[in-house]
Structure 1
Amino acid sequence: MNSSVLTFGAGDDQFVFSGFSGTNLTLDDMATITPDGLLELTNGTSNLKGHAFFPVPVSFRGLPQPELPWLGICHRTEQRPIHRAGGAVLGQLGLTNIDDDGNASNHIFAAEIDTIQNIEFQDIDNNHVGVDINGLHSLESHPAGYYDKDGIFHAMDLISGRVMQAWVDYGGDDAQINVTIAPIGMSKPVKPLVSATCNLKDVLMEPSFVGFSSTCNKSSTTSN
């Protein structure tokens, strides 16, 4: 996954990266900043992972109720599958390892952009977006795509190499998480792709880190 723009806001904690050259993101494993300022998490080499996090944890508590954290990401995906890690088994999006997947002690919330169908996690297909809490069994998921202004669904191929945008929004009153994707240059669709209900105050530690994670499995993916 190559990311070119990241904006985040949660109360007084806000940051915007328009390109990543000169930023102080914490990078590990394969993650790097390319010469043209893109964040490259993996480079297509099989069985490797990469992480990039904002170096200072942000607060998700004590925020005005109708509008808790919002997160917007504009990133470029290049050919082939994406995934994440920590001590994680590859193919588990790098979020968890095989022993602790799903444990409440993980304190993880993730918007999953997945190009591998893992039967053990009941993935719906090999081209989907999901909302994950503490593990890889998605709370809700949907085949990748977007809804136009008339409510018509348009499928998107996550491994096409085309530039795409993703938005992750969370509202406090109804504890609703919305994940929306669209091709670059398109305004944010009114109707989200995936919606789930979960009180993130019961999930996340205070404060928590915000960032990206990706892994390549044997199918190989460049993740930018």
Structure 2
Amino acid sequence: MPVVLKLFPRKYVIPDDGGLPGPARSQARSPRSGRAEEFDRLVGDHTPRLYRLVRRFASDRSEAEALVQETWLRAWRAFAEVDASRPLFPWLARIATNAARDSWRKRSPLSFADLGEQAETLEDDLVGPEPSRERGELLDRLALGVRQLRPEYRLVIALRYDAGFSYKETAKALSIPVNTVRTHLRRAKSALRSWLEVEDARLDG
């Protein structure tokens, strides 16, 4: 029985063999009870959060939906390897980041000016004593600004702040050193601050 992914307004069908040839087909089947039924439940449980994560580093909604679909396809193929005693979402997040990087390798990367090592954080701008309309507007603008960043910066921002990964977990998911994660975060924050300043000047003008 094929798996039907109920994602967004559409449905995507994954064959029983996961689209894999020959002996690899056996790896596409889950050892868990319920198999397709359980996988379908997991899709329903995790797709909203997965989409929010992917939307942070995808260039637009269409790319985000395609990456979520690819993530679940890869997850189905590797479902037999999942440790049921561990949280599932970190595993899905790693699959999503790998799918994104594979996609970006097929096209020209976004260009972005070289950024200095030193950067102030945005924490003081984001954290206030009470939620406010100004803070909400700033968060909306930052979400837009994140989409202007280089792909590797978007990935680090998404994993660190949206998925809640530690520096070590982010480094493991991206197969980069922890110090590189810290550098990417500093540069991403510097870029976002510069972007906000340019946007403020444009709006004031």
Give the TM-score range, shorter chain.
under 0.3
Q: What is the TM-score with the length of structure 1 in the denominator?
A: 0.23
| Structure in which a larger fraction of residues adopt strand | 1
Which structure's CA Rg is the greater one? Answer: 2
| Structure in which a larger fraction of residues adopt helix | 2
Q: What is the TM-score with the length of structure 2 in the denominator?
A: 0.25
